[in-house]
Each structure stands twice: as structure tokens, then as C-alpha cells.
Amino acid sequence: MTHDLVTTLRPLLTAEASAEAHATGTEPGDLEQAVWVRLLEHLETQGPPLDPPGWLRRAVRSESRRSRRTTRLERPYDTEPVADDDHTPEQLTLAAARRRAVHDAVRRLPGRCPSLLAALLSPKDLTYREIAGELGISQGSLGPERSRCLGCLRRLLTPEVAARRGRG
């Protein structure tokens, strides 16, 4: 049943995600991935939708709006104090402590998150293709997976680090 539903909805989802993604500045694959996750959640809680194409169109638009809101709320990070030319011992110590805190929190994350974020934080500066190959997951799943992992990391670090400004 689920396989038939996925097979039937795949072309429609591809077309809808392509049409909506460019307006929000997201990748169509990321939008598709988010809608598939919503469909799985819907199947688990309520069973198959009564009008699958209509449900899919509404889900794509809803995920698109969520993405737009998220993009609008995000602000770029200011430069780190260690980015200055003046590398005092205090600045180097604080930067090392921040890196240790982040890496310790990454190790406490559930599932694949530790390996994914470790690859993203790697000094090798791996591409998404290299990370996907290293972890054995599809490249299109990397963006949504990264977002979930960063959300978990943010929740884990919130009690430890006081948020002074809007999220980046």
C-alpha cells in the first residue's frame, strides 16, 4: 500500500517541490525529503490521506512556508573573536574551550548525528558528496539530516550556552 502511494505521488511531488522550492530559496530535494517525512508521520498517526494528491500539494506549500519563515528568522553569525589578527592567549583558550564544548555535545547526540556533524566539522572540508559516500547515505538526505542534527545540537547546547542574539 505504502509503496503504491509513493510510486503514485513521486512525479507530482517532484513537480510541486520544483515549483515551490525556487521561491523559497531551498533545494527541491530538501523540500521533497521534508514532505516524504511528513507523509510517513501522517501514515503512522492517521493512515493514508483520503485525497493523496490534494494532501501532497498542501504539504508542499506548508513545508515551503515553514522554510520561508525559517530563512527569514535566520541571521548570519558575527565573526568569532579569534578571527581578528590579535591572537591573545585568552582568545585562543576561549576558542579552544568553545570547540571542545561543541565536539563534546556532538558526541552526545543520538543516531547518525555524531558521525554526520563530525564529518561537517572535519578540517578536511569535505564536500556533501564525500560526506554522503563516507556515511553511506544519499546526498539528498544530507541537508534535512543536517538540519535535524543541528536542531538537536542547539537544544543540547541551549542550557550550556546563553543565547545572546538571534539564531544564525
**Residues 6+ positions from 76 with CB-CB distance below 8 Å:** 168
pLDDT, residue 163, reads 46
Architecture of domain 88-157: Orthogonal Bundle (1.10)
- Retrieve residue 143's grid coordinates: 541537508
137 closest CA partner among 148, 147, 129: 129
Under a CB-based contact definition with an 8 Å cutoff, are residues 149 and 115 in contact? no
Q: Which helix (H) or strand (E) holds 41?
A: helix 28-46
Q: Which part of the chain is CATH 1.10.10.10?
A: 88-157
Q: Which helix (H) or strand (E) holds 155?
A: helix 139-157
CA distance 56 to 161: 39
Please report, in tens digits, the pLDDT of each residue of the chain (168 residues total): 567 888 888 999 999 988 888 777 778 888 899 899 999 888 889 988 899 999 999 999 998 888 888 777 766 655 554 455 567 888 888 888 888 888 888 888 888 889 998 888 888 888 888 888 888 888 888 888 898 888 888 888 776 554 444 554
pLDDT, residue 53, reads 92
The residue to which cell 506549500 is assigned: 61
Under a CB-based contact definition with an 8 Å cutoff, are residues 13 and 32 in contact? yes
Residue type, 146: R
Under a CB-based contact definition with an 8 Å cutoff, are residues 5 and 52 in contact? yes
Contacts 24+ apart (CB under 8 A), 112-115: 112/137, 112/145, 112/149, 113/148, 113/149, 113/152, 113/153
pLDDT, residue 71, reads 72
pLDDT, residue 101, reads 84
